[in-house]
Amino acid sequence: MNRGKTYGFVTKDGGRWRGCREGDSYKKRIVFVDSAISETIVPGMLYKVALKATKDSQCFIATSAVLFKFEARIVTKIKKGVFMVCVCFGNKNVVYDPDSKNPRRNNIQSIADYIRHCPELKNAMQVAEDFLDSAFLVKTLYNKR
């Protein structure tokens, strides 16, 4: 099976190159992933990479990549009189809402399983346990109202 080239984009920010999205409006350069490491790259994840400029310096080759791991914050919010638990990391927010009809938002165990298996999350198992503590407390408060 012949796959297309894996690529991403970078922009210069304060003298350093940082990742950006293809649709961002500012000036950017394309980064092609070296075929030696392309099988280890998961699309949609953020990586710390070693960049090598091409001869014409118009694009880069990523010669090594390490998945960037985010710290998580667990926040309890109240919306319309209902407490919710939010796990925030990177640009993701995972929400437990006991009032929701959506099983992706109201099933504590499936949310905890999702958190445990997030490769971009530092200490995923501990974050999942902390989430469970908060979510069960919120569920207890929700059931008492």
Residue with tokens 């091409």: 54
Segment 79-102, tens digit of pLDDT: 988 899 999 999 899 999 999 999
Residues 138, 139, 145: CA angle, nearest 5 degrees = 90
Residue 144's pLDDT is 82
Spell 120-133 as b/e; 16+ CB within 10 A means b: bbeebeebbebbbe
Q: In the structure, what pLDDT confidence band is assigned to residue 5 with cuts at 50, 70 and 90? A: confident
* Count of alpha carbons within 13 angstroms of residue 125, beta-carbon side: 0
pLDDT of residue 2: 43
Confidence of residue 4 (pLDDT cuts 50, 70, 90): low
Residue pLDDT, tens place only, 42-64: 888 899 999 999 998 889 999 99
- Number of residues in the chain: 145
Three-state secondary structure readout of the chain: CCCCCCEEEEEEECCEEEEECCCCCCCCEEEEECCCCHHHCCCCCCEEEEEEECCCCCCEEEEEEEECCECCEEEEEEECCEEEEEEEECCEEEEECCCCCCHHHHCHHHHHHHHHCCCCECCHHHHHHHHHHHHHHHHHHHHHC
